[in-house]
Each structure stands twice: as C-alpha cells, then as structure tokens.
C-alpha cells in the first residue's frame, strides 16, 4: 500500500513539474523587479525578450544607457483596446526619448506581440544584437551591460512618465544581475 502511495506521489509530481518546466524553458533567464518582469533568451545573433508589468500603460526596456536615459536603445510597448504597439526608440536626452523612425532611423523590432489581462501588460519581441541603425547599439551577450526597466501608468500613451524605473547590470549569457539604481 505504501509503495502505491509513493508511485502515485511521484507521478503527480512529474505531472505538475512538466508544465512548469515547459514554461521555464520558454525563456532562458528572468529578472523580477517591483511589479515587473524581464525574461530573455540569447539565440545566435538575436535576443528574444518578454516584458511584463502591472500597468495598463506602457512597458519598456532600455539597453545600454549612458547618462540617465540618454544614449539608450529603448523598446517601448503598450496595448490599447486589445491592439499592441511596440516601437524602437532612442534616449535623445537624459529625460527623454524619441522613436528611431522620427530620428531618421528604423524600427528594428522583430516578432512583436502583446496583450493586456487583469491590469497586467505583457509584450514580447525579438531584437538583433547588431543592427545597422545608428539609433540602436550592439547588445553584447558576454560580460556585463546596463539595462533600464520602466513602466508607465494608466493612460495608453508613450508620453506619460514612469511611476517605476530601475537600472540593473546584467550578463545576458549567464543571467547574472546586480541592481544599480
């Protein structure tokens, strides 16, 4: 009898672990900050990204900022009336960003996708580690790089400010990270 319980327990555990492992396999690494998640996978010369935040406004990531937001390759997305918009921006000032397209560059975001559910906005996209655009920057998968994470509030507009923003130092290959700000 005891043996039967043991076997049933093992089978139940395997059954529970399977969907969990499938979920975890989707992205190689995850960074959880306040009300926000950044998941990513480096694959060949691309990075696959998922951003999730407790907001009905925008969610964003900024690769390699120089001074506050200045010089960062910013990807920003939102979902309005069930339709997602994801744009490739550049930190043109310490406190401001503009779309690469408006700056005479390109939108280099690939496979954009997004949805909003129960007050949580999720976007996903792929980005080349190297583009020819002067308003992007090479993403170095080795060593450490700075990354900004932020989300907006309420209104579906890229112009609203962030109730939350943070800066981390990340090694995209190993998944190690350290909070900077």
In this complex, which beta carbon is closest to ligand HEM, that of residue 76 or of residue 129?
76
**Least separation, in Å, of the C-beta of 43 and ligand HEM?**
23
Q: Are 58 and 149 in contact (CB under 8 A)?
A: no
**Least separation, in Å, of the C-beta of 161 and ligand HEM?**
4
In this complex, which beta carbon is closest to ligand HEM, that of residue 12 or of residue 154?
154
In this complex, which beta carbon is closest to ligand HEM, that of residue 120 or of residue 146?
146
Cβ-based neighbours of 48, under 8 Å, separated by 6 or more? 27, 40, 41, 111, 124, 125, 126
Q: Which residues pair with 124 in a beta bridge?
A: 50, 113
In this complex, which beta carbon is closest to ligand HEM, that of residue 88 or of residue 133?
88
Provide the token pair at 154.
């309420």
Q: Under the rule (CB under 6 A), what is the footprint of ligand HEM?
A: 60-62, 68-69, 74, 76, 95, 97, 148-150, 159, 161-162, 165, 167, 181
End-to-end CA distance of the chain: 56
**Least separation, in Å, of the C-beta of 178 and ligand HEM?**
15
- Quote the radius of gyration of the chain (alpha carbons, Å): 19
**Least separation, in Å, of the C-beta of 59 and ligand HEM?**
9
Other Cβ atoms closer than 10 A to 16: 10
């Amino acid at each position: 009898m005891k043996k039967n319980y043991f076997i049933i327990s093992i089978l139940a555990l395997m059954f529970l672990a399977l969907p969990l492992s499938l979920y975890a396999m989707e992205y190689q690494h995850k960074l959880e900050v306040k009300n926000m998640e950044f998941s990513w996978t480096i694959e060949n010369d691309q990075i696959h990204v998922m951003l999730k935040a407790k907001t009905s406004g925008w969610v964003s990531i900024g690769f390699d900022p120089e001074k506050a937001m200045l010089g960062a390759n910013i990807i920003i997305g939102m979902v309005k009336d069930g339709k997602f918009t994801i744009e490739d921006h550049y930190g043109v000032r310490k406190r401001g960003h503009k779309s690469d397209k408006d700056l005479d560059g390109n939108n280099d975001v690939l496979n954009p996708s997004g949805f909003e559910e129960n007050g949580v906005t999720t976007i996903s996209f792929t980005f080349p580690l190297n583009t020819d655009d002067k308003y992007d920057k090479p993403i170095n998968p080795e060593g450490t790089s700075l990354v900004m994470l932020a989300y907006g509030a309420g209104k579906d507009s890229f112009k609203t400010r962030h109730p939350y923003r943070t800066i981390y130092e990340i090694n995209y290959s190993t998944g190690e990270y350290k909070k900077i700000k």
